């Protein structure tokens, strides 16, 4: 996981970005049920902004709060995704979503 903090005068943090790569391990890929769970998980982190982008197409990220946006990624088993987070609680949110990918969306 990579962290990038930007500070302006007097040590005040302006923004923080956290990046990590996750791999879809579920045999059905990133489908509606796990996309919905990801969006619901983020309700616990109102200050965090998370996006997922295909590693082979990083310029078209999906908003992790949008089920449809996540489904449009068409991430099948084995797809590597870049998970980016910023804002308050972003590190915790990225860790939680990363763990969800690590256990194959708790479906297998």
2-106 CATH, one of 3.40.50.1820, 3.30.1340.10, 3.40.1280.10, 3.40.50.300: 3.30.1340.10
Q: What pTM, to 2 d.p., does this model score?
A: 0.85
> Mean pLDDT for each 10-residue chunk of the chain (108 residues)?
52 70 97 97 95 96 97 98 95 97 94
The number of C-alpha atoms within 13 Å of 83 and in the hemisphere containing its C-beta is 25
Task: Round to whole Å and give the CA distance between 37 and 35.
Answer: 5
Which pLDDT does position 3 carry in this prediction?
60
Residues 6+ apart with CB under 8 A from 99: none
Which pLDDT does position 7 carry in this prediction?
45
Which pLDDT does position 9 carry in this prediction?
44
């Amino acid at each position: 996981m990579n962290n990038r903090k930007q500070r302006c005068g007097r040590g005040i943090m302006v923004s923080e970005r956290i990046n990590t790569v996750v791999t879809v391990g579920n045999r059905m890929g990133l489908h509606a049920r796990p996309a919905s769970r990801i969006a619901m998980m983020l309700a616990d982190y109102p200050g965090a902004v998370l996006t997922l982008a295909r590693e082979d197409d990083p310029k078209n990220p999906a908003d992790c709060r949008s089920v449809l946006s996540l489904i449009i990624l068409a991430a099948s088993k084995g797809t590597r995704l870049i998970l980016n987070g910023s804002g308050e609680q972003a590190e915790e949110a990225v860790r939680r979503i990363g763990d969800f990918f690590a256990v194959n969306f708790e479906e297998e």
